[in-house]
């Protein structure tokens, strides 16, 4: 009986992943939805996932929105984040920008830090790890699957280095989140590294 319930729950999770995480990316990648609408689609997906999280009755703590262990988590993520930022700066100084992002104005960076990064972390770490836990996925599989889904959303940029780098950083953020179960530290790291990468024209 218990295995049947887990099986049904896994079917629900698979449906959520396909409809909320894979389908929107495919619609943009195939040009069925304009590329310029990507941020609106992200917000729409976040609203839908938030509604599903309410149906699951996940608490804010379950989703990683907690001050518990925040200091420890921030200390643990600070050095790798700063090291990554230094690597990006070094690459920029040696090679210059890969992509011309000069069209992005300051309002975009405010949106990225204040909305996009927190929403992405809610979607790809907080919520995903919560539903993965409900269906008893192994920890390593949760980390890899969430990193694949996070990386795949960048398919819309049609840039292989971006796919590879987001998968690698997705593994790191996933591992950190599993260990400390605090979303705020990952949001700060994501906001900082993402803004630097875009500003330097690396992604």
For the chain (203 residues), the mean pLDDT of every run of 10, in chain order, is: 70 93 92 86 85 93 93 96 96 93 92 92 96 91 97 92 95 97 97 96 91
Q: At how many degrees (to 10) do helices 183-199 and 160-180 cross?
A: 160
Stated as kind and residue range, the H or E segment containing 163 is helix 160-180
What gap in Å lies between CA 18 and CA 4, rounded to an integer? 21
12-31 per-residue burial string, b: 16 or more CB within 10 A, e: under 16: ebeebbeebbeebbeebbee
Overall residue count recorded for the chain in this entry: 203
- With a threshold of 0.85, does the pTM exceed it? yes
- pLDDT at position 6: 66
pLDDT, residue 2, reads 58
Q: What is the pLDDT of residue 172?
A: 97
Residue 110 token pair: 């405010």
CB atoms closer than 10 angstroms to residue 46: 19
């Amino acid at each position: 009986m218990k295995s049947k319930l887990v099986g049904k729950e896994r079917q629900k999770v698979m449906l959520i992943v396909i409809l909320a995480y894979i389908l929107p990316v495919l619609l943009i990648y195939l040009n069925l939805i304009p590329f310029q609408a990507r941020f609106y689609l992200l917000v729409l997906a976040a609203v839908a996932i938030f509604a599903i999280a309410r149906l699951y009755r996940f608490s804010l703590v379950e989703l990683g929105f907690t001050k518990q262990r925040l200091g420890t988590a921030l200390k643990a993520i600070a050095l790798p984040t700063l090291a990554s930022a230094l690597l990006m700066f070094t690459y920029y100084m040696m090679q210059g920008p890969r992509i011309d992002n000069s069209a992005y104005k300051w309002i975009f960076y405010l949106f990225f830090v204040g909305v996009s990064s927190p929403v992405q972390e809610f979607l790809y770490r907080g919520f995903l790890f919560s539903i993965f836990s409900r269906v008893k996925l192994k920890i390593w599989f949760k980390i890899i699957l969430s990193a694949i889904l996070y990386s795949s959303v960048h398919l819309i940029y049609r840039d292989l280095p971006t796919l590879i780098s987001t998968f690698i950083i997705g593994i790191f953020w996933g591992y950190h989140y599993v260990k400390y179960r605090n979303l705020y530290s990952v949001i700060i790291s994501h906001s900082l590294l993402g803004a630097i990468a875009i500003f330097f024209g690396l992604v």
